[in-house]
Amino acid sequence: MVLAASCSRAATPPHARVAVCRSSNLVLTYPSPVIYLHHFVFVYGLRNSGPTACSMTGYPAVTARNQSGAPLGIHVEHLPEWDQVVAVTLRPGQTAGFFLASGSMPKVCGRRSDIYGTFEVAPPGASQTLAIATPARGACPGQVVFVSPVESGTAPPTSA
């Protein structure tokens, strides 16, 4: 599966010194789903709700839980085709995006699927998680879900 995102990538200028974004100053948002034949891509945003600029670099840590709060039997891995990870600086009110992608929809995996309840996300460099209800219908046991690094903006991938 090859995914390309249309988000812009802007590196932090070397002279700019901003603190790493903390979970307490971020709001996890769900701007849009993108569903392709036999797999899904969910685009999420991390909006800076704090009073000052902050930065983050890398991949968020993601845990999927079922409707009872128990971890699901899926594996979250970094998207292997991603060419570079860059620093993202967010002024107050700005959003960085990332997406989760799966190679199969539950109805075509041929096995029982567990219903998602929430995704817990720890932003890059943070240990505290943010939770959001997920629109995904279910996960196949042992399924691999890929996560992208954070980028400026929240545009969905342009191809899959």
Query: Domain range holding 85?
Result: 4-159
Q: Are 109 and 143 in contact (CB under 8 A)?
A: yes
What gap in Å lies between CA 27 and CA 10, rounded to an integer? 21
Please report which confidence band the pLDDT of residue 52 belongs to, taking 50, 70 and 90 as the band edges: very high
Quote the DSSP letter at residue 46: E
- Structure tokens of 115? 């219903």
- Structure tokens of 67? 């409707």
Tell me what pLDDT residue 133 has.
82
Please report which confidence band the pLDDT of residue 144 belongs to, taking 50, 70 and 90 as the band edges: confident
Instruction: Give the count of domains, the chain.
Output: 1
Tell me what pLDDT residue 74 has.
80
- Cβ-proximal residues to 80 (8 Å cutoff; 6+ apart), any chain: 146
Three-state DSSP class for residue 79 = coil
Pairing between β-strand 144-147 and β-strand 75-78 as defined by DSSP bridges: parallel
Q: Are 47 and 26 in contact (CB under 8 A)?
A: yes
pLDDT digits 0-9 by tens, 101-111: 876 555 545 55
Mean pLDDT of 55-66: 90
| Mean pLDDT, rounded, of the chain | 76
What gap in Å lies between CA 107 and CA 138, rounded to an integer? 9
Please report which confidence band the pLDDT of residue 7 belongs to, taking 50, 70 and 90 as the band edges: very low
Q: Are 88 and 13 in contact (CB under 8 A)?
A: no
Mean pLDDT of 79-84: 69
Tell me what pLDDT residue 160 has.
39
CA 130 to chain centre: 11
What gap in Å lies between CA 143 and CA 67, rounded to an integer? 18
Tell me what pLDDT residue 4 has.
35
pTM above 0.85, yes or no: no
